[in-house]
Amino acid sequence: MNHLVSPSLLAADILNLGKEVTMVNQSLADWIHLDIMDGVFVPNISFGLPVVEQVSKIAEKPLDVHLMIVDPDRYISRFHDAGAGILTVQYEACTHLQRTVTGIRDLGMKAGVALNPHTPVSLLVNTLPFVDMVLIMTVNPGFGGQSFISDSYHKIRELRRIIDDNGYAVLIEVDGGIDNENAARLIETGVNVLVAGNAIFSSPDPKETIRKLKELD
């Protein structure tokens, strides 16, 4: 049970978002995941700063915020003020990645970098000393409910080897198509944080689903 579970509010009932956050508060989940989409970097629009601010008022777990937006540097301090505890930016959206993640850390947040499925983990070799987490996207970002990309296991193994060989204290997070069928293998492969959306919020008993994900060996 050393791994973390971060339920994704992208799959929650938006009309009852407060109740959904309260459910996560009462569960064994470790974080609350929020996907921020701008309709430019990805072909979808999701939450913005006002939603993060409102969620932070009732959340009892750290907010795990993933920015799928262009030019994320413009918004780093605002997401900090809105309540983000972990802030992840996309590798593909950052021209000066080391400066971006350093800025996130300087504000007191944990800094994460996300990789799209086509982006090799080798491109992060020079950035790993400056981040707290790498998010491997196991679907193409933009929409929930997609099927897990099986080649992701290879990327996770490679990243795990690079992190361990260099002694970095960097977590590996995965997001996209995560459920009880593949979660155990992902943990075995080297994943530290499971993001799950539909598997949790579409289940008959979301808290029980979170418990099962959390208690996997």
Q: Which domain holds residue 201?
A: 4-214
Question: What does the alpha-carbon distance between residue 210 and residue 217 come to, in Å, rounded to a whole number?
Answer: 14
- Is 71 one of the catalytic residues? no
pLDDT tens, position by position, 33-74: 999 999 999 989 999 999 999 999 999 999 999 999 999 999
Nearest in space to 80 (alpha carbons), one of 96, 95, 93, 62: 62
Tokens matching residue 151: 């080649």
The region, left, alpha or beta by phi > 0 then psi within -120 to 50, assigned to residue 163 is alpha
| Predicted pLDDT at 144 | 67
Kindly name the residue from 30, 35, 38, 64 that is annotated as catalytic. 35
Split into its structural domains, the chain has a count of 1
| Predicted pLDDT at 147 | 85
What percentage of the chain carries pLDDT values higher than 70? 99
Q: Which residues of the chain have pLDDT under 70?
A: 1, 144-145
Between strands 193-196 and 4-7, the pairing is parallel
Nearest in space to 54 (alpha carbons), one of 14, 107, 96: 14
Q: What does residue 161 show for φ and ψ, rounded to 5 degrees? A: -65, -45
- How remote is the C-alpha of 177 from its chain's centroid? 13
Tokens matching residue 102: 């350093």
Secondary structure of the chain in HEC code, one letter for each residue: CCCEEEEEHHHCCHHHHHHHHHHHHCCCCCCEEEEEEECCCCCCECCCHHHHHHHHHHCCCCEEEEEECCCHHHHHHHHHHHCEEEEEEEHHHCCCHHHHHHHHHHCCCEEEEEECCCCCHHHHCCCHHHCCEEEEECCCCCCCCCCCCCCHHHHHHHHHHHHHHHCCCCEEEEECCCCCCCHHHHHHHCCCEEEECHHHHCCCCHHHHHHHHHCCC
User: Looking at residue 97, which CATH number applies to its domain?
Assistant: 3.20.20.70
| Predicted pLDDT at 27 | 98
Question: What does the alpha-carbon distance between residue 91 and residue 74 come to, in Å, rounded to a whole number?
Answer: 16
pTM listed for this prediction: 0.96
- Is 217 one of the catalytic residues? no
Kindly name the residue from 30, 38, 132, 175 that is annotated as catalytic. 175
